[in-house]
Structure 1
Amino acid sequence: MPSAIPQPAFVLVRPQMGQNIGAAARAMWNFGLDRMRLVAPRDGWPNPDATAMSAGAGRLLDEAQVAASVAEAVADCTYVLATTARPRGLTKPVLSPERAMAEARDRIARGEKVAVLFGPERAGLENADIAQANAIISVPVNPDFASLNLAQCVLLTAYEWRRQTVDVVAEDMAMGGSEWANVKELDALAKHYEERLDTAGFFFPEAKAEGMKINLRNLWSRMPMTRADVQMLHGILRQMVRWKERGD
């Protein structure tokens, strides 16, 4: 059964290769989408090549709705978006993927049913297909090489849907099992280095010693260090001292 999460239907119009259908299913499921519809797949349906390529997203293929025409595939929808990379000479709103998925999100939240059309691999959607859509999704690709693979276009659109419907953390820090070092630990590290460097005669001349120590402490406080980092730096200094003592 499809998930209960409200979402648009992705409609693959006259897809030519089973592998691309499977790759599109995988791309959809990567971002939590599982409403796939197929319009007149060239090699018939079901297609074993699609299953082999879906890599764990086979459920989408099993539950995919198959229609003979675009009109049939989107008959229950109130808002339809068509993906295309080429100007078509049609008067129609043209949206970026981000704006299109925001519109889809808002309409679905109001109870509407939304579909997104993706054209066949060779030439994309025909004007007759696009004429049935309410708006166009245009990806800002290189104009000298505008053709996107079917699964790539599905992936890009699904990604934008995900961005519009979940809280995406723009930046995070993976701590690797450690925690940030606190002020007490950084102070102990600073004292350890000051003591050893003082013994080694590093703080010279004496008139500049205090300023050098302040700069060193500023270095430690400026660095975002974990407890593991602090322990490693303590260990490095201890080993260097032991090595020097053995050398004597």
Structure 2
Amino acid sequence: MQMTGNTILVTGGGTGLGRGLAEAFHKRGNTVIIAGRRKSVLDDVTAANPGMSGLVLDIADPQSIALFADRIVTEHPALDTVIHMAGIMQNENLKKGSTLATAEATIATNLLGPIRLNDALLPHLLSRPKATIMTVTSGLAYLPLAMTPTYSATKAAIHAWTLALRYQLQDTGIDVLELVPPYVRTGLMGERQANDPHAMPLEAFTAEVMGILEAQPDVQEILVEAVKPLRFAERSGQFDEAFKARNDMLMKVRGAEF
């Protein structure tokens, strides 16, 4: 992936990891468009980053995606990079009653959203001389968190989808990258995560990701050091033990919120 001169869409770009990457690419001279549900949040970010623009998108709504895709291609015909960052993550205590609404919302946002948006934008991206699609999974795609079963499942699904997408597009001008974040200090799961000293600071995560992209222009899987124990848990031959130990520990620490 080239680091400058791109026209980049970052879904979920108003907060957290999305905002961090959007601002980092903006500072490197790229044209950046952020998208999200809340116009007020987008306005705050674009006001703090002159030259950046924001468009409202409900990634869980197929009609919103269709209208958004038409608009962004019309207003930004040079669009050549899409970062599928938007996502939600919620606990699901299966013993306390139905969690179906949470599961369906998570699938609509984290899995169907990127698939639908990619479907809408792919013809345009294929028309560009060079383009990039970056999916965003999670270390939990590889070592699931039992408290968030559907979130972990959607990220595992996006990983598989990314592999297939990369294979099918290998003879085109589109690079397909997978960003695999660890536990980062954002508001994804509320104030506890946003202030958790055990989470990787957002600034450190963003800096490491940008450093990897700059040093390895042909990288396909973007792994900061903190996520590697999750990403490669199965290689140790002790996946079952690691899964149980990690989930036992997190349940003990976070049991009150579950």
The TM tier, using the shorter chain, reads under 0.3
| Larger proportion of helix | 2
Greater gyration radius: 1
Q: Comparing both chains, which one has the higher relative contact order based on Cα–Cα distances under 8 Å and sequence gaps of 6 or more?
A: 1
Compute the TM-score of the two structures, normalised by the length of structure 2.
Answer: 0.26
